[in-house]
Amino acid sequence: MKTEQTNILKGIAAAPGIIITQAFIYQKEKETINDEKITDIEEACKNLETAVQQSKKELNKIFSLAVDKLGEKRAAIFEAQIMILDDPILFDNIKSRIKSEMRTPEYIVHDEISKYIDLLNLSNEAYMKERSHDIEDIKNRIIKNIKKKKWKSRVITDAVIVTGTISPSDTVLFSRDSVRGYVTDFGGLTSHAAIVARSLNIPAVLGLHDATNRIKDGDTIIVDGYKGEVIINPDEKQLTEYSKKVEKLQKYDKELDKLKTLPSTTIDGKEIQLLGNLDLTDELDFIINNCAKGIGLVRTEQLFEGNDVFPDEQTQYKLYKDISERIYPDTVIIRAFDIGGDKVLPVDLKEPNPFLGWRGVRLLLDSKDLFKTQIRAILRASAHKNVKIMIPMVASIVEIRETKKIVAECMKELSKEGIPYDKHLGIGVMIEIPSAAVMISEFADECDFVSIGTNDLIQYLLAVDRGNDIVSGIYQEFNPAVVRTLNNIIKECKKKGRDVSMCGEMAADPFALPLLIGLGLESFSVSPSAIPILKKLIRTMSFNDAEKLANDCLNLNTEKEINSLLHKFFNQELQDQIKSLY
């Protein structure tokens, strides 16, 4: 009788690949308060003043963004925090204590402001208790700035990160430290950690629940991103088995490499465009080396994630220009900042339901200066006529028209300034909200092209949080409602003569590929690491067979039936060496 080995943890196979290396347990660094005596009072007071000024700068940025949309009441929270930083009595008292007690400024700040926090917490009024959190935020911000820290933590290189959850900023930080894989207690298939792992071509297994309890720092682990398994301190038999698999994969990668310069055409002559998604500037080399036919999605909010402030026009222009020139003569589609939801929002704004809150084009239209700065930068980078702009999270035609007005306004300004740009810049929309999918025919009339963002479209269509591993089983890309919605979008766009592409994670799923091609999709924008294997599959399949498969799927009523049919087709019709590994 076969028994399950106890050193194997099972989770969600979030990014393919296999790695055997040591584990690094990552924990967010906690601020400690240094209570030592000091000798240089002048320097301590100077550090305090600098930290207060930096905190004001950060809060002013938050306030300027919040006041446009949130109104006086909520924006006043940030204004009130700024006013506290201007309180002469509070800071005169802190300085006085630094001088008289000769203790570190972070200790005095912690001790003095905590008194106010404790007083507010003693109140029976819920409102007053809530305000204590605001004061706590100010205290932590000042202490962080006194210590001149950005809450970064040490990460060793060439290790697998094992942690509870990974934030977007964490993943970017890790990518600079040659991290070999991710293992987390929580997180779903389309969480940011999974997307970045796939972009960087490193394996990830998420949603293990007790990985941080079972795995120790320095343990040897095997991360199997195909099966969603993590093996802790493997025995000799397991090591031998997986070493052979790694060797086999490396040979397979070399075989895929030979297809790079060949066209992605089905055996019966249907040409399919494979483009790359760009999240990190490091991926540009990947995209070019894998012979992508352009860039179908630049996630601009990711490119500038490490910045303390929104990048100015010149900074953005330089980066967009560099990308457009390196990808020329192919086209690059630059998506306007999609901040909010699970994306990067460089303000301390807390919303009860951020996925349905202030994000995407809603935020951009409310922050016109921010939007105009980015549009002007994109326009300036479009002088070679190979740049397009895409609007995120569009729910209504009004939002498209308002955006087009701002683009026209920016064009007028640049013309007046004598700055060259593409006067026929293509303007497209992401279709990721059900209202846009329902009205796709009318939306197609208003724009030049459409890109289907399946990550959010599936989430909103099925009302399931895509980052929540508890309900990850309900996030179904082959749900009949999803398949029929995609079919409607593709067909209606073609009727209107509009280019339609897909840039969500579904586009990179080998099992979804025949279905999507059969539905009529001819352009896929995916993580650059996925391009070789998709090309291999395309060159193996028949479009006629894929079309019949898609029609059969459209007549099925459950996700299980569609999933089963697609897997049967894949196993029978497509020869893929990855299967032979298991």
- State how far the Cα of 71 lies from the Cα of 247, in Å rounded to an integer: 59
Contacts of 333 (CB under 8 A, 6+ apart): 294, 295, 296, 297, 298, 388, 389, 390, 428, 449, 451, 525
> Cis (ω within 30 of 0) for the bond into 329?
yes
- State how far the Cα of 7 lies from the Cα of 155, in Å rounded to an integer: 25
Catalytic (active site) residue 503: yes
CA-atom Rg of the chain in angstroms: 26
> With left for phi above 0 and alpha for psi between -120 and 50, is residue 192 left, alpha or beta?
alpha
What is the CA 78 to chain-centroid distance, rounded? 27
- State how far the Cα of 311 lies from the Cα of 318, in Å rounded to an integer: 11
Type of residue at 333: I
* Structure tokens belonging to residue 398: 């009004």
Q: Other CB atoms closer than 10 Å to residue 37's CB: what's the count?
A: 9
The one catalytic residue among 291, 493, 503, 553: 503
3-state secondary structure 48-86: HHHHHHHHHHHHHHHHHHHHHHHHHHHHHHHHHHHHHHC
The one catalytic residue among 192, 291, 447, 493: 192
* Structure tokens belonging to residue 577: 């060496």
Beta strands in 83-178 (DSSP E): 160-163
Q: Are 460 and 435 in contact (CB under 8 A)?
A: no
- State how far the Cα of 155 lies from the Cα of 579, in Å rounded to an integer: 34
Handedness of CA 322, 323, 329, 335 (dihedral sign): negative
Vertex 214, ends 213 and 220: CA angle to 5°? 130
Catalytic (active site) residue 553: no
- State how far the Cα of 242 lies from the Cα of 344, in Å rounded to an integer: 37
Element (H or E) spanning 164, and its range? none
Residues taking part in catalysis: 192, 503
